[in-house]
């Protein structure tokens, strides 16, 4: 049997073994395409999360002593094993999240790349040499943090699970990972793949459970050393407040309202398919989704016409049938998206296309059509708030300065794209946009595995992905030497 299958009952993963919650409690994980129950998942309670933390605490020193080269070899082996069960993993991810099968396949490959990338980096985490007075000097080591807590969302459980686990393990940490209620299955599969590759029990623990129970307990624990949280701003605030009580450091990835800036000289035939994909990927439920377009007035009508045509052609359906766009994750998320469309109407924006809860033959899932809103101005809620669905707000501007001002006029600052044929304008914008990543005449770079990723402003702080993430998962020790010459 593959590690990646959907079973009727799904258990926790603690200290190298699958087990039900001590309370026996379970919650339903639903298929977003049908609204029907997919599996019943053990709901970790306080005792279970504590058991996971204890297991991680016990296992961590031994794991940190494994030579970096061997830790790296194990992670590299996990990459191989992920690719070996790619089809199964992709089907589970597609079923659990609703995303189209080919996107789930891409997520599997990105997950494998995280393990390969950090596996290769494991024995290359060097410190510095710092010259002091005379012959004195100091050296630095990057040491593990210890036991890290990772609270992840439902939109990319496999990718985010992989990026979190791989870098934490590379650095010699042990982890307790809390997946989201809506999509906990592939992070559990990752834990089993790691065990199959030889990871000692207790180094990775995965505790599905309700956010306000399992997540809150983990965030408030004094027995962990760091928290990485990816999710909504409101929950991020709660997690940070809980961590503050114990003075625990946090890394926060809180989403965005990322703009594509289309200047007067942009190549629209190149931009339109990319802007469309940047929105509809994962049904708009991507922290870095391109949900605002800031366009020069001279190109506005042409861009809107082309986007409307592209949106109307988007095939919406069940993930396993591999459409262009699947359902939203839950009934609640669908309600949220539809209510924002009402807000947009009330605020005076114009809906050019989409906006309906779309019916898909024979399915009762959480579908919507991609929506295109024009006449949007920067102060509108549909321009400022993260909707987390396929809703694109178009804002017209008169010149490059206004384009920059409008793009930056947001509480968020995760990523941005610039569309222009002029290298000077591209560089000027890229340098002045307030966000963590800027793409020029593109949007995203595959999974962006080697690229530091994280927000300015309310999009969060700290960086994940790339070599930069190793800094987040290690702490620096400095050792100074007093060197005396032999005759002194
Ligand atoms: O996220 P939550 P939700 C945004 C997006 C979305 C909104 C709400 O705008 O519409 O957030 O989504 C766990 N203590 N993003 O409610 O609650 C929860 O179990 C500790 C952006 O689904 O942030 C899950 O594991 N943990 C985003 C994780 O937090 C708690 C991705 C994220 O869920 C907790 C997802 C608590 N009190 C949503 N309550 C992104 N940045 O990509 C919940 N959790």
Domain boundaries, the chain: 9-254+462-476, 258-449
Probe residue for ligand 1, chosen from 45, 220, 232, 248 as the CB with the greatest number of ligand atoms within 8 Å: 232
How many C-beta atoms lie closer than 10 Å to residue 130's C-beta? Answer: 12
Could you confirm whether 253 is annotated as catalytic? yes
Q: Tokens 């962990």 — which residue?
A: 224
Are 401 and 422 within 8 A, CB to CB?
Answer: no
Q: How many DSSP H helices and E strands does the chain contain?
A: 15, 23
Query: In terms of C-beta density within 10 A (0-12 exposed, 13-18 middle, 19 or more buried), how is residue 450 classed?
Result: middle
How many C-beta atoms lie closer than 10 Å to residue 376's C-beta? Answer: 23
Which atom of ligand 1 has the smallest separation from the CA of 255?
A: 41
Which atom of ligand 1 has the smallest separation from the CA of 182?
A: 22
Probe residue for ligand 1, chosen from 231, 241, 329, 461 as the CB with the greatest number of ligand atoms within 8 Å: 231
How many C-beta atoms lie closer than 10 Å to residue 360's C-beta? Answer: 18
Say what the pLDDT of residue 1 is: 45
Strands 258-262 and 415-419 turn out to be parallel
Q: Which regions of the chain are under pLDDT 50?
A: 1
The domain 9-254+462-476 is placed in CATH, from the list 3.90.1310.10, 3.40.50.11540, 3.40.605.10, 3.10.129.10, at 3.40.605.10
- Distances 180 to 158, 218, 344 between C-alpha atoms, Å: 11, 13, 29
Residues in a beta bridge with 437: 415
How many C-beta atoms lie closer than 10 Å to residue 131's C-beta? Answer: 9
Determine whether the shortest distance from the Cβ of 263 to ligand 1 is under 6 A: no
To which H or E segment does residue 258 belong?
strand 258-262
Say what the pLDDT of residue 361 is: 79
Q: Tell me, in angstroms, the distance from the centre of ligand 1 to residue 160's CA.
A: 13
Report residue 31 CA to chain centroid gap.
Answer: 21
Q: Tell me, in angstroms, the distance from the centre of ligand 1 to residue 155's CA.
A: 10
Protein residue with its CA nearest to atom 42 in ligand 1: 287
CATH H-level, domain 258-449: superfamily: Aldehyde Dehydrogenase; Chain A, domain 2 (3.40.309.10)
The residue from 253, 386, 464, 472 that is catalytic is 253
Determine whether the shortest distance from the Cβ of 464 to ligand 1 is under 6 A: no
- Cβ neighbours of residue 10 closer than 8 Å, sequence gap 6 or more: 29, 39, 40, 41, 42, 184, 185, 188, 208
Are 235 and 178 within 8 A, CB to CB?
Answer: no
Residues in a beta bridge with 253: 230, 460
d(CA 258, CA 255) in angstroms, rounded, equals 9
Each residue's pLDDT tens digit, 59-112: 999 999 999 999 999 999 999 999 999 999 999 999 999 999 999 999 999 999
Say what the pLDDT of residue 358 is: 76
Say what the pLDDT of residue 488 is: 63
To which H or E segment does residue 393 belong?
strand 391-397
Which atom of ligand 1 has the smallest separation from the CA of 386?
A: 9
d(CA 230, CA 218) in angstroms, rounded, equals 14
Which atom of ligand 1 has the smallest separation from the CA of 330?
A: 22
Would you say how long the chain is, in residues? 488
Long-range contacts of 83-87 (CB under 8 A, 24+ apart): 83/108, 83/109, 83/112, 85/2, 85/3, 85/4, 85/189, 85/193, 86/112
Determine whether the shortest distance from the Cβ of 219 to ligand 1 is under 6 A: yes
Protein residue with its CA nearest to atom 18 in ligand 1: 211
Axis-axis angle for helices 157-170, 86-97 (nearest 10): 120
Determine whether the shortest distance from the Cβ of 211 to ligand 1 is under 6 A: yes
Are 189 and 18 within 8 A, CB to CB?
Answer: no
Protein residue with its CA nearest to atom 28 in ligand 1: 153
Burial 36-46 (b: 16+ CB within 10 A, else e): eebbbbbbbbb
Could you confirm whether 435 is annotated as catalytic? no
Determine whether the shortest distance from the Cβ of 436 to ligand 1 is under 6 A: no
Which atom of ligand 1 has the smallest separation from the CA of 219?
A: 20
Determine whether the shortest distance from the Cβ of 215 to ligand 1 is under 6 A: yes
């Amino acid at each position: 049997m593959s590690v990646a299958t959907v079973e009727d009952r799904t258990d926790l993963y603690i200290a190298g073994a699958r087990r039900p919650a001590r309370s026996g409690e379970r919650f339903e994980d639903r298929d977003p395409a049908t609204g029907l129950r997919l599996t019943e998942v053990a709901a970790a309670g306080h005792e279970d999360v504590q058991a996971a933390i204890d297991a991680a605490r016990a296992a961590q020193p031994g794991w940190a002593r494994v030579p970096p080269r061997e830790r790296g070899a194990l992670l590299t082996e996990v990459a191989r094993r992920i690719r070996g069960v790619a089809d199964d993993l992709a089907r589970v991810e597609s079923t659990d999240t609703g995303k189209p099968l080919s996107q789930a396949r891409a997520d599997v490959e990105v997950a494998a790349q995280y393990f390969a990338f950090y596996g290769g980096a494991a024995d290359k985490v060097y410190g510095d040499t710092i010259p002091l007075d005379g012959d004195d000097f100091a050296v630095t080591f990057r040491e593990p943090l210890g036991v890290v807590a990772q609270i992840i969302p439902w939109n990319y459980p496999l990718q985010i699970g992989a990026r979190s686990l791989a870098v934490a393990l590379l650095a010699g940490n042990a982890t307790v990972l809390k997946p989201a209620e809506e999509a906990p299955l592939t992070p559990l599969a990752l834990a089993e793949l790691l065990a199959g590759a030889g990871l000692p029990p207790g180094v990775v623990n995965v505790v599905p459970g309700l956010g306000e129970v399992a997540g809150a307990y983990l965030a408030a624990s004094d027995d962990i050393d760091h928290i990485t949280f990816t999710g909504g701003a409101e929950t991020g605030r709660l997690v940070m407040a809980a961590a503050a009580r114990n003075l625990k450091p946090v890394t926060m990835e809180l989403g965005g309202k990322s703009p594509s800036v289309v200047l007067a000289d942009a190549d629209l035939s190149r931009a339109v398919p990319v802007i469309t994909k940047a929105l509809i990927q994962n049904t708009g439920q991507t922290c870095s989704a391109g949900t605002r377009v800031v366009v020069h007035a001279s190109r506005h009508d042409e861009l809107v016409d082309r986007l409307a045509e592209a949106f109307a052609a988007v095939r919406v359906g069940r993930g396993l049938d591999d459409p262009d766009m699947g359902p939203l994750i839950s009934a609640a998320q669908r309600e949220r998206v539809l209510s924002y469309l009402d807000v947009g109407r009330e605020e005076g924006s114009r809906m050019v296309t989409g906006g309906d809860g779309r019916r898909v033959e024979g399915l009762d899932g959480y579908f919507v059509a991609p929506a295109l809103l024009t006449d949007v101005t920067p102060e509108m809620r549909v321009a400022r708030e993260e909707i987390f669905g396929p809703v694109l707000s178009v804002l017209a501007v008169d010149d490059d300065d206004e384009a920059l001002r409008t793009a930056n006029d947001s509480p968020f600052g995760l990523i941005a794209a610039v569309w222009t044929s002029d290298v000077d304008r591209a560089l000027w914008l890229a340098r002045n946009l307030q966000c963590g990543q800027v793409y020029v005449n593109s949007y995203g770079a595959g999974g962006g595995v080697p690229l530091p990723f994280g927000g300015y402003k309310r999009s969060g702080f700290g960086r994940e992905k790339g070599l930069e993430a190793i800094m987040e998962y290690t702490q620096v020790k400095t050792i100074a030497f007093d060197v005396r010459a032999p005759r002194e």
